[in-house]
A and B are shown apart, each in its own frame.
Chain A
Amino acid sequence: MQAVQEPGQGGHEVRLASPGELREKLRSLAPKPLDPAVAEAVNAAIAAWRHEAGGLMPLLHAVQDCLGYVPAETLPVIAKALGLSRAEVHGVVSYYHHFKSNPPAAHRVELCRAEACQSMGADALLAHAEAHLGCSLHGRSVDGLVELEPVYCLGLCASAPSMMLDGQPHGRVSAQRFDSLMAEVREVRAAKGAAA
């Protein structure tokens, strides 16, 4: 058998993995035991939806509603329970904008970017939000507290520009209103921190 040469390595021989090393590598790819909180959320979601036709979407929603995201290590568990391949489950999670693969920030701002809001200054509001938070769209504020995401229509098109803050709708959002909403978020955090 010819050892594969890596490009640009000038004929340097690449060592093939031994059978023992391959077994070790495969073992490392095997599903890892889940964190107890994650396991509890995933098992509850599986129990609720595994027998439902088309149950993968509501199952993923249940996991995300509980944990705030769909951890990568849960995909093999979900796939096995539903008789799907890992690729199929990964495909669904990665296809939909709503499903997140990483832990969320403590607070989420979703700014509407669609036409009705654009007609009422959504671009200026986005620029203001980015400057205020010190991050761009899809990013996180400097203190890591708030994430800034786009959303394409909240159905609040006659009260534009609009946004969601932690699932609560806000309409006719001016720069001042945005600042006061962010100040409220920080006040609540500070009060909670003081109480704890």
Chain B
Amino acid sequence: MSGITIFVPRDAAALAVGADAVALAIAREAASRGVDVAIKRNGSRGMFWLEPLVEVQTEAGRVAYGPVQPGDVAALFDAGFHQGQIHPLSHGLTESLPWLARQQRLSFARVGVTDPRSLDDYRAHGGGEGLTRALAIAPKDIVQQVLDAGLRGRGGAAFPTGIKWRTVHDAPGPQKYIVCNADEGDSGSYSDRMVMEGDPFMLIEGMAIAGLATGANQGYIYVRSEYPHAIATLEAAIATAREAGWLGPDVLGSGRPFDLAVRKGAGSYVCGEETALLESLEGKRGIVRAKPPLPALEGLFGEPTVVNNVITLAAVPLILARGAAFYAGFGQGRSRGTLPIQLAGNIRHGGLIELAFGVTLRELLFDWGGGSASGRPIKAVQVGGPLGAYVPESQWDLPLDYEAYAAVGAVLGHGGIVVHDDTADLSKLARYAMEFCAIESCGKCTPCRIGSTRGVEVIDRLRTAPSGPQRDKQAALLRDLCSTMVDGSLCAMGGMTPFPVLSALKHYPHDFGLSA
């Protein structure tokens, strides 16, 4: 009989729940039964409650089984899963699962589908068309495409990408750089990691296009040290891309150079701030720089530099391949395109949901997420990482859109959503926000360095003071401290740590022993 292809993800979140042991068990069981099986290691589909999610290629499509443990493998073979047969763990055709089918996967179209280390697989699924198109048009026309697509920075600041690129394009000088910010430190975020582990050639292609557009010949991907699997996959993919002529002195025979290197962070959250990241790339402590000068004019080693998030750069190949209008056709208002939303924390069906801007939190929490993992009522949802606000139920019907969130003092950030059930104590989480800022502050500006420590102390006093005027006084002091941090900090670390603190205080006063 002809060989059967079985997919077992190599994404770190699949490995974390035993995917390697499952792959080994399948290989052994197949060998002992004399079944000809080829095991392919894909990225993750992003349905983490089903990981390890094993898929079997059938004539009708790929059939999903999960979560599979090594002990299930013999029974799966008994049931004929290698021919796509029914078993209690089967979910039918992967592509027909409503959780996946209802998404609008543009940047994540290949993640979980292809072999991340195979350039042939990448090309077979539409990869490379953007770069080919970019090589056929003038650099300023590439920039115009990105501008017209309405792409905004997905790292959190939502700055128009095309304007940043145009600034670097127009800046004089022979040496320019493309820097990819892959220091994805926000709790609740993993979309960068999934792209790097699941579709690294898309990021490489996006960076090469950015290089062609701006005249930069060298790129760096700054990846946090907590992501060893992403680093390994990227390095393998870069070597393959170089061999295939996608990178190097003569990109796809165009005579134009662009090369890439991976640089590893070292456990500093603030290095996700673009100027601290540049300092770190220069081999220094990750201390935030004052702006101006903008990195687009004086960035890495003082040269004009594009600094973009992984998801921003990963959106570029598709924009070039399908045209700006196609991408801008998704989304609403000034938030164009799609956002890879990451549902995490205390949620039944957590995972990656790529959708056009405009979906509501309530739809995400219940239609996709299926409610809390614990089965208890959801109390608070932190959107946009450790610097994002806690969003109370009264705001769950707001559309996910940069402006709509900004209007209520919240942020979308990098699209990470952390769910807490009713056992959460928001005063404790507010304290943690300040504590985290104290641990991770680079120390350059006083509101952040000292304010965060004072913040922990004030919250401790607030939590223990007898209720009444003494407690109210501590609350007033905390608000005052927060306004100093918001107005006086050099970057978002100190400037936004008050967002979770103040939103917790405002929407959950009872957790602080205050009356509403």
Q: Which residues of A contact B (CB under 8 A)?
A: 53-58, 60-61, 82, 88, 91-92, 95-99, 114-120, 151-160, 162, 164, 167-172
Contact = CB atoms under 8 A, between A and B. Distances in A.
Contact of B286 (A55, A95, A99): A95
A116 B386 CA distance: 10
Contacts of B268: 95-98
Interface string B74-111: 00000000000000000000000000000000000000
B503 to A, nearest CB: 13
A115 B13 contact: no
Nearest to A95: B285
Contacts of A92: 283-285
B188 interface: yes
A152 B269 contact: yes
Closest 10 CB pairs of A and B: A158-B350, A56-B283, A114-B187, A96-B266, A157-B344, A171-B16, A98-B267, A97-B267, A98-B266, A119-B345
A99 B188 CA distance: 25
Interface in B418-444: 418-421, 424, 429, 432, 436, 439-440
A98 B286 CA distance: 13
A155 to B, nearest CB: 4
B382 A115 contact: yes
Contacts of B227: 155
A41 B16 CA distance: 31
A157 B266 contact: no
A113 to B, nearest CB: 8
Contacts, number: 154
B230 to A, nearest CB: 8
Interface in B247-275: 263-269
A157 B285 contact: no
A169 B12 contact: yes
Given A115-B187, A115-B382, A169 B15 contact: yes
Contact of A157 (B267, B345, B436): B345
Contact of A156 (B12, B265, B286, B439): B12
A141 B447 CA distance: 37
Contact of B187 (A55, A57, A95, A117): A117
Contacts of B421: 119
B190 A155 contact: yes
A86 to B, nearest CB: 15
A151 B420 CA distance: 20
Interface in B267-303: 267-269, 280-286, 301
B48 interface: yes
B344 A158 contact: yes
Interface string B7-49: 0000011011100000000000000000000000000000011
B187 A61 contact: no
Interface of B: 12-13, 15-17, 48-49, 51, 184-190, 192-193, 225-229, 263-269, 280-286, 301, 342-347, 350-351, 373, 382, 386, 416, 418-421, 424, 429, 432, 436, 439-440
A157 B192 CA distance: 13
Contact of A114 (B13, B351, B373, B386): B386
Contacts of A152: 185, 187, 269, 436, 439-440
A67 to B, nearest CB: 15
Nearest to A59: B283
Contacts of A55: 283
28 contacts: A54-B263, A56-B283, A56-B284, A57-B263, A57-B264, A57-B280, A58-B264, A60-B266, A96-B265, A96-B266, A96-B285, A97-B267, A99-B266, A114-B386, A115-B418, A116-B418, A119-B419, A120-B346, A151-B267, A155-B193, A156-B190, A157-B189, A157-B345, A158-B190, A159-B13, A168-B15, A169-B15, A171-B48
Contacts of A164: 226
Contacts of B228: 167
B236 to A, nearest CB: 17
A138 B344 CA distance: 27
Most chain B Cβ neighbours within 10 Å, of A56, A152, A157, A171: A157
